[in-house]
Structure 1
């Protein structure tokens, strides 16, 4: 069985190492984090591995996972390079969504093999993710030799793999951020708006749950244009104008961002509405678009 060293044992690192140990995919050797207690806690969760405090304490491994925050990856690569623990057969990879594998090999003369594999999975806690990771999609790119080792390892723990273009990985990650992270921000904005209307946050969460699930399911199993309903889809200019006026008043009194969110998301929604076969009259959509593009909306 191939060996793996883990550099950085946060939620993702602990989850993957635990699954690979549980499925007898890799032998987990050493684990390093910011402190010895946290490394020991990670090893306890993983069920294997030796907690260490520096790269100098680590021994050679077939595979190295650098699972630190993105801003710390380059520093860890430099430390590994100086350690002389890497050979031509060594695989080094990270799971960043924003960076491609080139950051792992800053000099072309370095002989080890590199890759990046990004799980599209919300790692809330390792305890939850170890049970929910199966079926997660993972985008990969890198050296064929590295992928020959890594892809079967991810498949072994239930990942669904797809290739991505390393040159466009930033856009790929931005798409994931909008769909996952920004969706949370949008839900918070909706709850804030409900509160301003006198509906408690708890009650708003309950009433949003079924309709948001239905909308998301319709948009992703069908298409956004098939799923879209509401005032923009109908070309209801007056409703959009009235809502903008109310949101602008909130901004004036509470420094709320709701008006700006409504305008930006509304402009994208107009683009979706224009694709609908039952599209509203073009002149109505044009008027709505003009309203949504106004930088300072009249609150009167």
Structure 2
């Protein structure tokens, strides 16, 4: 198995370093920036390819790690060559594999291989990547597919998904990564209004963030519930609503409503009528529901 990369950026280089660490052969990199290509090749003990056909010839898996908006263009470029027996992949989670249809028409098997990880630079800690899940999407995936053999060689956990899943799949990643970042920023913003710097505010909140994540990992969402909504404390929620910025009120209410539903599911064994049963069983939860806009 020999893997060539088109795009010597942070995702391509990080994955190539990781694959090489797992004793998978990296043929090299092709791209537009000569300096980035040299760095990528140096970091992975591989080759700089200035000719696209040469990269294709030396690789049986070609992974496109360019920005999403030029994946189709790259597919059109490589489709000019014979791709019979080759696997052509991209690493976007938001675009289905059929963006590579021109490569498929030239004989390639096409896939989306998406690592569920936020790559911030080319020097990603390889130990972290051992725990990363991959998702695989493409036609006729079987245990004999090159991409499945690659996953098995890595030892990472992975799952396969349908071609119509890309939007919902990518949404899941964005919610827990990008949107969570936005929530952290909103939360630290309220502390900065008390005089803390942004760094101090995040440092103060960091144990709460990591502790919550560890609890969820160990016990699941419902058993990790804490805070005023889970306890049915109306007064703190009223006070929160009184000091929230107008732009944050709907976010607060919507997320708190979800917490209330989780509380109901915990109390009534995830019954479909659990929220109704919770508010009927307790005046304080009924008041909370009204506060959060659940009922008039």
State whether TM-score is above 0.5. Answer: yes
Match of 2:88 in 1: 92
1:85–1:115 Cα change, 3 Å = same
1:113–1:151 Cα change, 3 Å = same
Aligned residue pairs: how many? 282
Q: Is 1:290 aligned to 2:286, yes or no?
A: no
Q: CA RMSD, aligned part only?
A: 2.6
Query: Residues 6 and 67 of structure 1 are in contact (CA less than 8 Å); yes or no, is this contact kept in structure 2?
Result: yes
Q: CA deviation at 1:146?
A: 9.1
SS in 2 for 1:127: coil
1:107–1:6 Cα change, 3 Å = closer
Give the TM-score normalised by the residue count of structure 2: 0.84
Distance 2:176 2:148 in 1: 25
Distance 2:95 2:166 in 1: 7
Query: Residues 56 and 62 of structure 2 are in contact (CA less than 8 Å); yes or no, is this contact kept in structure 1?
Result: no
Q: Where do 5+ consecutive residues of structure 1 fail to align? A: 252-256, 295-300
Match of 1:254 in 2: none
Query: Residues 8 and 31 of structure 2 are in contact (CA less than 8 Å); yes or no, is this contact kept in structure 1?
Result: yes
Q: CA deviation at 1:284?
A: 3.3
SS in 1 for 2:265: coil
Output one character per residue of 1:262-293: Cα deviation in whole Å (capped at 9) or x when no partner.
22322222222222329675543343333334
Query: Residues 139 and 162 of structure 1 are in contact (CA less than 8 Å); yes or no, is this contact kept in structure 2?
Result: yes
1:182–1:222 Cα change, 3 Å = same
Query: Residues 8 and 67 of structure 1 are in contact (CA less than 8 Å); yes or no, is this contact kept in structure 2?
Result: yes
Q: Is 1:225 aligned to 2:215, yes or no?
A: no
Match of 1:141 in 2: 137
Match of 2:122 in 1: 126
Q: Is 1:176 aligned to 2:166, yes or no?
A: no
Q: CA deviation at 1:109?
A: 4.7
SS in 2 for 1:64: strand
